[in-house]
Every structure is written in structure tokens, then in C-alpha cells.
């Protein structure tokens, strides 16, 4: 399988252990990874950096995952096809967004599955 060398990923996750694990895994796959713990910080980065992949926890303090998806829909809808939502409660995800994002990954998730989905979401035809 092709590595994603040079691809930029943003991980938005309030659990520090999960954030660090996902960063390490993606960096091993060649991604350049930034991580933040809340939606407001993610918005600040998304306004200035072009990311190839966004891994987004649904339940975040302050600006939550669905609010961040709504922001992306209004300002940068091309990003939605590059989003992997991670959540312990996939049933709570709005059906409206499910059709427009790349994938929903239920927690706890398998690392190998995360890698496969990240590769899928960064394919040129995914955007």
C-alpha cells in the first residue's frame, strides 16, 4: 500500500492519549500531523492551512465535532470528503453529515482500520 508521504493531517481529539496515538500512527505512514484538543483551535488552523485529512472526535469541549463540520460546510465544503469522524456514539451523528464525510469510525477503533481509512480518504478522487 502507498504511504501518504507529505500529506498533511489534522487530528482534533480531546483525549491526550488517543491524540498522541493517532499522531504517531499517521506519522509512521508518512503524514505530517498536527493535533489540537478542541474545535476552536481546529478552526484557527483550518483557516490558514490546507489539510489532506481531518480526523475529528465528535464530542469535544466548546466547539463540538458537529459544529466544526457545520463550519467546514459553510466555509470549506471540499474538506468534508476528507473527514474521518471518531466517536463512541456513532448513532448520535447527524445523518445529514454522514453522507458528506469520508468515514465514521467507532471508538475504540482498530489502528489498522484507521490507516486503511486514512489512505482511502486521501485518494485523489476522495475530494
Is residue 1, in this structure, part of any structural domain at all? no
Print the domain residue range for 87: 8-122
Q: Which residue has the cell 453529515?
A: 97
Provide the pLDDT for residue 94. 61
36 vs 74: CA distance, rounded Å: 21
Is residue 2, in this structure, part of any structural domain at all? no
Tell me the per-residue pLDDT of 28-77, one tens digit each, with 9 for 90 and over.
999 999 999 999 999 999 988 899 999 999 889 999 988 999 999 999 89
114 vs 84: CA distance, rounded Å: 9
Is residue 127, in this structure, part of any structural domain at all? no
- pTM greater than 0.85: yes
Q: How confident is the model at residue 90 (pLDDT cuts 50, 70, 90)?
A: confident
The backbone region for 35, taken as left when phi is positive above 0, alpha when psi lies in -120 to 50, beta otherwise, is: beta
Task: Tell me how many domains the chain contains.
Answer: 1
**CATH code (residue 74):** 3.40.50.2300
Amino acid at each position: 500500500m502507498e504511504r501518504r508521504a507529505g500529506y498533511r493531517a489534522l487530528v482534533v481529539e480531546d483525549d491526550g492519549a488517543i491524540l498522541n496515538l493517532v499522531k504517531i500512527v499517521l506519522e509512521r505512514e508518512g503524514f505530517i500531523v498536527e493535533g489540537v484538543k478542541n474545535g476552536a483551535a481546529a478552526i484557527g488552523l483550518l483557516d490558514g492551512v490546507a489539510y489532506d485529512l481531518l480526523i475529528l472526535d465528535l464530542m469535544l469541549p466548546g466547539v463540538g465535532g458537529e459544529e466544526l463540520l457545520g463550519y467546514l460546510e459553510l466555509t470549506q465544503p471540499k474538506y468534508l470528503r476528507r473527514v474521518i469522524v471518531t466517536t463512541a456514539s456513532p448513532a448520535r451523528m447527524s445523518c445529514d453529515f454522514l453522507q458528506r464525510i469520508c468515514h465514521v469510525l467507532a471508538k475504540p477503533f482498530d489502528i489498522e482500520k484507521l490507516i486503511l481509512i486514512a489512505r482511502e480518504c486521501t485518494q485523489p478522487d476522495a475530494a
